[in-house]
Homo-oligomer: A and B are copies of this chain.
Amino acid sequence: MKYLYGLTTAMITPFSKDGTVDLDKMKNLTNFLIEKGTHCLYPLGTTGEGFRLSVEERKQVAQTVVETANHRVRVYIHVGAVNQEDTIELAKHAHSIGAEGIGCVTPFFLGVNDREMEEYFVKVASSVPDDFPVYLYNIPQCAANDLKVEVVQKIANRCPNVVGVKYSYADLFRTSEYLTINQGTASVVSGVDRLFLAALAMGCHGTVSGVACVYPEPFVAIYDAFKVGDLEKARQLQTLTNKYILTLKSGCNMSYFKEGLKLRGIDVGYMKAPQLDLTDEEINELKRQLTEIDREARAMGL
């Protein structure tokens, strides 16, 4: 099955001022990211404000990305929703439109126990064909639920299409444990941008990065350097990349991503309430900081 690997960009979602999705801008963003070298795309996740959209809107966004990408890169649709019914509907839809696979977050807000966690993911994974890959997505600091290693293994035992875990928390002990699932063949992708190189060294297949939505290039460069065994260069690139990550707030506030893209000439519209756009003051400070890091990046040949 096709795994996520290298740089998977967690895409933001462009909104119009009235909070509706802007599909044209989504198309442009898709093209921008592919041209800049991203290996895979991941729309409608946390970074994509996916939970704020209706099921219908989510389908439209998914379709736009899949069609625009047209298999130039792998597209995985995030399908997790507050309702299990919606999640399953979105999973089936992702398969039907030709996405390469799906990711699905754990239930959130309401606590689930291990048995509920297992049954939930089995139901979702079973709703799509056995050869349609599914990543379980664990982001405990947002979801207030944690996905245990032994629960993943139980799910993987029951569902051949559960290929791995997308883990967006900086606990590398856990990461190392996920990497032992299925006798070490599970695919683990990290959502912790600042530890991309460390994750690769440990055996992760890649990173799923929101910051890469604005700056895919340094992430691609880290992966390339790592692949040819140039760890020293990879380290220097990671150090540079960390500056972008901190400046763009690591995914805590997607308005920084949207404004950053605007500064690069890609208009991705507005945030959706309750998320707000940046103030002028914040934009100016962001511009100032990015200009400085851009200069450093150019000096490194990026």
Contact = CB atoms under 8 A, between A and B. Distances in A.
B202 A111 contact: no
A113 interface: yes
Contacts of A82: 51-52, 82
A83 interface: yes
Interface stretch (A70-78, A102-110, A156-164): A102-110
Question: What's the number of copies of this chain in the assembled complex?
Answer: 4
A198 B202 contact: yes
A112 interface: yes
A172 B144 contact: no
B194 A202 contact: no
B46 A239 contact: no
A130 interface: no
Contacts of A300: none
A127 to B, nearest CB: 12
Interface string A174-213: 0010011000100000000011011111110000000000
Given A46-B109, A197-B202, A202-B235, 8 more contacts: A46-B110, A52-B84, A109-B109, A111-B252, A111-B253, A120-B273, A170-B171, A179-B239
